[in-house]
Every structure is written in C-alpha cells, then in structure tokens.
Structure 1
C-alpha cells in the first residue's frame, strides 16, 4: 500500500503556508457572504479550491483528494443530515397531529412573554438536548419549536445557534472534553475545571444576549430578574458539576435546574409588559388543557430525552465498541485508498501515525436511531395514518434536499483541508507565536469547529498540538486543551454545518448567508474575549 506523508510547511515559511492553507476557508466565507451563493454552491466551489491547493501546493495525490471529499460527504449524510431529517420529521408529526399547539400552549402557560419563552426553549431546553444528544439535534429541534411559537425563521435559527454556546462545550455527555483529554493523556476532570473558569460566566452573558437580540436594552430592563435567575442558576450548577463530577452531566443538570428555577420564579413574578415577536400571531390562552393532555403531547420529547440519554450512557456505548457484545451491529467501512494511507507527523502527533478513514454506520446506537424510535413511538401514540406518515416523508425530503447537499459539500471540503494537512498548517502557525500563544490558542479550536462542525472533532484535530505547545512554553497542558474546547464552542454558531442544520430546521434553505451574517459578529466577538481571558489567566 502506497502512503503519502503530510507536509505542514510546503512553502518553507509557516505563515506564508498558513495564508495559502486559509484560502479555501476564506473563499467559502466570501462566496457565502459577499456573493450570497446558496450553501451547497459555495461548498461545491470550495471543494474545487481546496482540491487545487491540496494537489498543487501540498502535493497530495488526486485520488486522496477525491476520497477525502467522498468521506466528508458520507459523514455529512450520517450522522449529521440523518439527525436533521429525523428531528424535522418528528416536529412535523407533532404539528400535523395538533399536539404542537398543546406544547405551545404549555410553554405559554409558564409565561406569555416570548423573550422568556426563547430563554426556556433555546437556552435551557437547548442545553438539555445538547447535553443528552448533541450533533445538531438541539438546534434543529429548538429552532423548529421557536418557529412554531411565532418567531421568524432567521430569528429562531440565530437565537438557537447563539444559545448553543451555553452547552456546546459539554454536548453528548461531555465528549468535547473527555475525547481530547483521552487523546492527550490528560485528566478530563482537570480540563473540565479549567473550562469552568470561563464557560459558566459566558452562559450568563448568553442568557442576557438572547434577550438583547430580541428586544434590546428595554427587554433586558423588563426581564432582568428572570434572566438573572435563569442564567445564574444555570451557571452555578454547571460550574459545580464541572468542578466535582466532570463534564458528562454538566449540561443536563444545569438545564434542569435553570428550567425549574425560572418556572418557579415566574409563578411569583411577571414582566410589566408582555412581549410578542409576532403581533399578528396570538396564542389562545383561554384554552386550559389538563395535565394529562399536556403530558400526552410532550410524550415524544420525553421519550426522545430518555432514548438519547440512554444511548450516551457509558454502559450502553460499551455494548457497541470493539470487543463489546454487540460490536457486529456497528458497520465500520474503511474508505478505499484513503484509510491509513495518509501519515501524520510530529508535532501534530507524538510520532508518525497513519490517519484512519473509517466510515462508522452505527444504525442501532446513534442519535438518529433514538429520534427514529421516537418517531415510531409518536406514530403509534398519536395513531398517525400511513398517508400522514408518507406525506410527511415526502414533504421533509423535498424541503431538506438543498440543506443535505450543503452539509455534504461543506464536510467534503473540510475533510480535504484536514487530510491534506492544511488545517494542521494553520494550527502550527498559531503555535509558533511562543509566549503569546494563549492569546491565539482559542483560534485553533475555533478553526477546528468551523471546518468540522464539531467541538469533539476540533479537539481530535488540535488538542495534541495544544498540549505539546503548552508544555514547550511552560504552562499546564490542560489549560490549552480547555481553551481549545472554549474557542471551538464559539465557532458552533458559524460552522457551515451548523448553519445548514439550522437553516434546514426552519425552512430557509438557500439563505444560509443571511444566517451567517447574524451570527458571525457574535462568534468573533466572543472568540476575542476568550483569547484575552486565556492570555491573562493562563
């Protein structure tokens, strides 16, 4: 088997090489924002540009470029696009059966003020879903709910993307912290404690930021006590869990405490003015549903929560790992011509290491499967007809064709950047900054998430480099691995994958550029704050 060795400094000047490596990323952003191309068109052009840079600058064989793109497209289909499809399908069932109207009414019964409804759905419930499932499901589900409550699609999607900051660092049972810790041989509890110095405080900021985006300073003045209760209860719980238990349950506990605290507080306090984002759409609050009817309507989401929580528990995951009793139910498909044919070098890895490229089709243990089981459960529970299910399938497939193409094209170009070594070039350039490296360290995590759409994948890509560089400049490696997690979390709201998921969830496929323009300023602003904090305290 012929192998190809990655080259991280093809132009013999790390910063010049980094400028070239950044061309595909910058090209994608320009195509999306300046030329306002549809996401999948911008993604397709970016694949071509990334391929040209990989072949002519990095001397990557064309076959490896093509297979990297194929691998990325497959990863876009499963699990990302499949999660979005299943989540939107579930939402449509609740809507078509009339149960979403009851869900909407139950949220309104806590508060009729839609600023606070956004806090309940996007901030708290979104963090809960992030902690239990992650991988796009929280944004897809909460954005769809906000649209149902009357928020405009762009509004709903951007609010959910921005609120994901609060829980994004600890999604899917804390794996953004535990995976890079495992890769670098560090204590995950220590890494989590360092993130606890910053993320919980930012969670409070995010809570107020959501209200500011919806209704400006007036909204903050009118809802200040409630937002403070929600944000502070979330932050304190998150910090305590990270300090004493670890990252695995940080989001779930924080979200539950925040939801309960806000709901109880709103029983004794209400804002002077009830705010509605859509003055035309009103909710009939004369209807008083019984607890049984409300519980019946919410049952699919309760079932979903139980499923994704179960699927992410260690004992369940261990059933499907190599050597586990159900390992044969997970299909591991090596990508021909790519798997283990690319060799990574130090300092990206401690020693020369073949780069695996294995497509994992976990049909019985993924978040997608949990949502599909919930769809089956809801179909039986709500006595859905075969015609309703078939019509919903056709409708969802038609709506999601463009978003799926966007997701696949984005991941195809991102995988080319990763397997060619372009991503590592960018990382090494920032690592060369020496004593001021902590200032730039979060940018590595940010770039990793922008390219891969996942804080976990960003950690897998850059955590070893962060750890090595930290040791070289005389600071604890756990600090920079934690900063990688924090910086990456700030990029979730602008990752092309996340943008495509959010756009698909609210039915604005093709308008990804509008969503990107809303979130990019907040992402960069918060990244700068993380960098300054990292520089000052580490």
Structure 2
C-alpha cells in the first residue's frame, strides 16, 4: 500500500515537471517565453510518452490541436495589434487620448479616467502592453509622477484584460475548457465585480491615499456599477469580444458626466493633490481631427460585432468556417481523449480577427476620404505589428502545444486529482493565485489560461464543485496577475524613463494584486460551497 502511494506521488511529481521546467527557465535562467515554452513543451512530450503511455499518434494529434488553437488566438492578436497600429500611425490615438484628458481638471477623476477606464479601453482594442505604453506617458505629461502613472495603469486596467484584445484570453479559456462562451463569459463578468471596484479604489489610493479614495468614492461606485452591468450584458448577448471595450468606453462617459455634477464641480481636488511634476495640458485648442473621425474604425468594429450576433447573418456566413476534426484517442493506461469536430472553428463573421481586418479596411477608407491617410502607413503598421507580435506568437504556440499535450496524455487529469486531494475545500481560495502565477511567468492572460485553464477546470470536477466558476476564476486571477508581470512592468517603466527602477513599480502593485486575488478567491469559495 505504501509502495502504491509512493509510486503515485512520484508520478504526480513527474507530471509537474513541464511546469517546473517552465518556472525554472523563466525565473532562474531568465529565458524569454518562446525559449522556455519550447523546452517545457518538449518536456511534456517526453513525460507523456515515457511515463503516461501516450503514443506518437496521440501526441501528434495533440500538437495539431495546439497549432489549431494557436491559429485561432493569434489571428485575434495580430488583427488587434495591426488595427491599433494603423489608427496610431494616422494620429487618431492621440486625438482619442486628448479627448479623455480634456474632460476634467480634477486630478482624482483624471487618474480614474486615464488609468482605470481609458487604459482599459486601449486593452479592449489592442492589449499586449499597448495600454501601459500609451497611457502612462500621457499621464506623466499631465503632471503625474512616473511611478504613480505606471502603477495606477497596471492596477487600474487589470479588470479589463480577460475580455481585452478583442477577447483573445476569453476565447482561450473557453476553448481549453470546452465551456460555451455565453456560460463562462457570464460567470467571468459576475466574478469580475470584485476586481472592477477594487481596482478603481486601488488607483485612487496609489495616487493620493485615503483622501483621494474618499473624494473619488462616488465616482467609483457609480462608474463601477455601469462597467459591471455592461460587461454582464455583453456576455449575455454573446458578444464577449466587446466586454472590455464597451464597458470601458461607458466608464469614460460616466466619469465625464460625474465630473459635471455638483459633487465634483464644487469640490474639485485639483489643488489638494499636488503632483511633483508641473501639470502640462496636452490638449491642443484646435484639433485637426475630431473624436468621432479618430474613433471611426472602432465604430465600424462595434457595428460588425453587433451584426455578428444576428442569427440570420450568422447562419448566412456559417459555411465560411475553418476547423479540423480529430478522432478519439487512448493512452496505454486507458486515459480517453474525446473526439473533436471543427476544433477551434474560425468563422468569417463570428471570429474577431476577420471583423477587425474589415474594420481596419473601413477605417482606411474613412481616413483617406478625410485627407489623413498616407500610403506608407500600411507598410509601417505591418512592420511594427510583426516586430511586436513575433515573440508573443512563438511563446503562445509552444505553450499551447505544451498544455494540449499534457491534457491529452492524462497529465493534467492526474495533477488535478492531486491538487484536489491536497487542498480540499480551500481550493477556490487558491484558484485565482494559480492564474496570477501563470500571468507572472508568461506576462499574458492568454498564456496563463492555456497553461492552467484545463487543470483548474479538471480539479473542480474532482472536488465536485462548478468547473465553470473555477475556470472563470482562473482567467480573472490571470488578469489581476498581469499587474505584476515583469514584462509589462518593464514596458511601462521604460516608456516613462524609469529603466532599472521596475522594483519601485512592483512594490506598489504587488499588494493590490495579492489583495484583489484573495477577495476573488473568497468570492469564488462562497459561490462554490454556499450558494451552489
């Protein structure tokens, strides 16, 4: 009996080896994500074959699934970044940002507009570090200290990441867990209630302490309610790809309205929160491009996304789909892999990638008609997109193949049973920290979901609790974890001239990341064991 237990523990530790390799190479050897992901993927293949009885055919099919899933996600990533780069090259991003700045002179409301809502809007349309790179430098020019600008953006936008980048992380957690989009999206929006409000209060506290929180509380409570409600509505309507962009935009509008209420018109705190740097107004008195023109590609994208929800239109374009069928497989030890039909299906109308490319084309036509288009922008935007996305793409591909190989070889199932036995009823509290770990290691909510999404859902099944809730918590935790991801922290620090001072930023964001994750875990425990 003791020998059986020892063998089971030994096998469980071997099952952990791909994750240990990933941790060791990233944290200790300081390798980049593609290199670490490749070694971890090879380790998962070796362990799956030698220890778990996965034959060459099973592993080949698993890697093919990984490539299919990667194609689904990367089409979103590349399209989102390319669309953003076109808009940025035209000068429209600055126009959008200037309109945000001009809303109010109240510094507390400014930090909420920029770090909590506008950065989240940027996450909704681009992601992958773009919100920090764009918003933090603008905040420094507005008069905020560099460390405050970066830290408030990192904490403020964490609620927006899972549904950001036109839903790339959201689609990933859906695909790796096989949970329908509406089901998991609705639960994610419910669980995100905690990070939405706490990130708003967190940005205020980083900026101005208790007095700023007290002053900004009405704005956070009202705006947070609008954000949470619209996020839930987008998912109910099966428009998860808009569940960051629309709530963030409505959040900016709500704060603009709040700035004109008696609470903030008569009690403006622009003088009481003195910033070290002198305030500089970045808004030109005469704008050559109006907000609506600058925002036109995203108006087109919103319209296309809403069109995609019409059943008749979706049925019309349903034949224009791509996906692969995979047969059922079985390891030597009897672990079954179910068959898949049209795995990671890409549909012309329902997939965000094609919609974003159509929106980019529409934006080009609008800008050209208005006289703001230069022919070289297409090449410049493409070159910048390639530079931004190559490394990320290789990292995603290797980690997706690692995760699918572990899942189909039965490695994930064994790990889930071990975690369930070790943590028991406390697992929902631990669950968001697993997501945080994945985001910290990879710098990506998407990669974290690939690494741990299936593991978390499988552990929940073993414990007899809702796998939907725990899968949602995984993605929420990974989103919060992006506030301390070294790659994002370094990006933000570099853009505001704080090279080598990343520790100052992380020392500010870590307490909020850990505290918000704890509250999410408690929230998940209540749902898992008391309400359901």
Structures share fold, TM-score greater than 0.5: yes
Residue matched to 2:357:
372
| CA distances 1:149-191 after superposition (whole Å, capped 9, x unpaired) | 35689976994587343673899599789969x9789x959x9
2:105 is equivalent to residue 109 of structure 1 = no
- 1:209-288 superposed matches below 5 A: 209-212=202-205, 215=207, 218=208, 221-222=211-212, 224-226=214-216, 228-235=218-225, 238=228, 246=236, 251=243, 255=248, 258-268=251-261, 269=264, 270-273=268-271, 279=277, 282-288=280-286
- Once superposed, what is the RMSD of the aligned Cα atoms? 5.1
Q: CA deviation at 1:297?
A: 1.5
- Aligned to 1:358, the other structure's residue is in SS state strand
Residue 372 of structure 1 deviates from its aligned partner by 0.9
Alignment partner, residue 317 of structure 2: 326
Name which of 414, 418, 421 aligns with 1:425: 414
- 2:460 and 2:72 map into 1 onto residues whose CA distance is 28
**Deviation string, structure 1 residues 476-505 (Cα, Å, up to 9, x no partner):** x55x63244124310235589x99899999
Taking structure 2 as the reference length, the TM-score comes to: 0.72
In structure 2, how many angstroms separate the alpha carbons of the residues matched to 1:289 and 1:18? Answer: 62
Structure 1: where are the runs of 5+ without partners?
A: 1-9, 471-476
By how many angstroms is 1:106 displaced? 0.6
Decide whether the 8 Å contact of 1:234 with 1:254 is kept in 2: no
Does the CA-based 8 Å contact 1:449-1:488 persist in structure 2? no
Secondary structure at 2:76 match in 1: helix
- Asked if 1:531 corresponds to 2:516, the answer is no
Q: 1:382 aligns with which of 367, 371, 375?
A: 367
Cα deviations by residue, 1:366-415 (Å, 9 ceiling, x for unpaired): 21112111211121111223322123222322343222222222222222
**2:401 is the alignment partner of 1:412:** yes
More helix by share: 2
How far apart are 1:431 and its partner, in Å?
2.7
Larger displacement relative to structure 2 (251-260 or 481-490)? 251-260
Which of the residues 402, 418, 425 maps onto 2:391?
Answer: 402
Q: What does residue 3 of structure 1 align with? A: none
Deviates more, 1:461-470 or 1:85-94: 461-470
Residue 205 of structure 1 deviates from its aligned partner by 0.8
Answer yes or no: is the 8 Å Cα contact 2:473–2:520 preserved in 1: yes
The structure 2 residue matched to 1:56, chosen from 35, 40, 50, is: 50
Report how far residue 420 of structure 1 moved.
2.0
How far apart, in 2, do the equivalents of 1:176 and 1:276 lie? 43
Change in CA separation of 1:449 and 1:39 when aligned onto 2, cut-off 3 Å: closer
Q: TM-score, normalised by structure 1?
A: 0.71
| Deviation digits for residues 276-335 of structure 1 (CA, Å, limit 9, x no counterpart) | 999599543352448x82221122222223333433x2626x72xxxx44332101234x
Could you tell which deviates more after superposition, 232-241 or 258-267?
232-241
Q: Does 1:30 align with 2:24?
A: yes
| Mapped partners of 2:511, 2:14: distance in 1 | 24
Whether 1:43 and 2:33 are equivalent positions in the alignment is no
Residue range with higher mean Cα deviation, 351-360 or 415-424: 351-360
Secondary structure of the 1:331 match is: strand
Alignment: residue pair count: 493
Q: Find the residue that maps to 2:319 and give its secondary structure.
A: helix
Gap runs ≥5 in structure 2: 141-145, 440-444
In the alignment, which residue of structure 1 is the partner of 2:442? Answer: none
The residue number in structure 1 matching 2:89 is 96
In structure 1, what is the equivalent of residue 201 of structure 2?
Answer: 208
TM-aligned CA deviation for residue 35 of structure 1: 2.0
Q: In the superposition, relative to structure 1, how do residues 297 and 457 fare at CA in structure 2: closer, same or farther (>3 Å)? A: same
In the TM superposition, residue 59 of structure 1 has moved relative to its aligned partner by 2.2
Assess, with a 3 A threshold, how the Cα gap between structure 1 residues 315 and 117 changes in structure 2: closer, same or farther.
farther
How far residue 109 of structure 1 moved from its aligned partner, in angstroms, is 0.5
Q: Which residue of 2 aligns with 1:360?
A: 345
For 2:168 and 2:24, the matched residues in 1 are separated by 35
Per the alignment, do residues 39 and 483 of structure 1 end up closer, same or farther by CA in structure 2, a change over 3 Å counting?
Answer: closer
What is the alpha-carbon distance in structure 1 between the residues aligned to residue 254 and residue 393 of structure 2?
A: 38
Question: How many Å separate the matches in 1 of 2:152 and 2:34?
Answer: 19
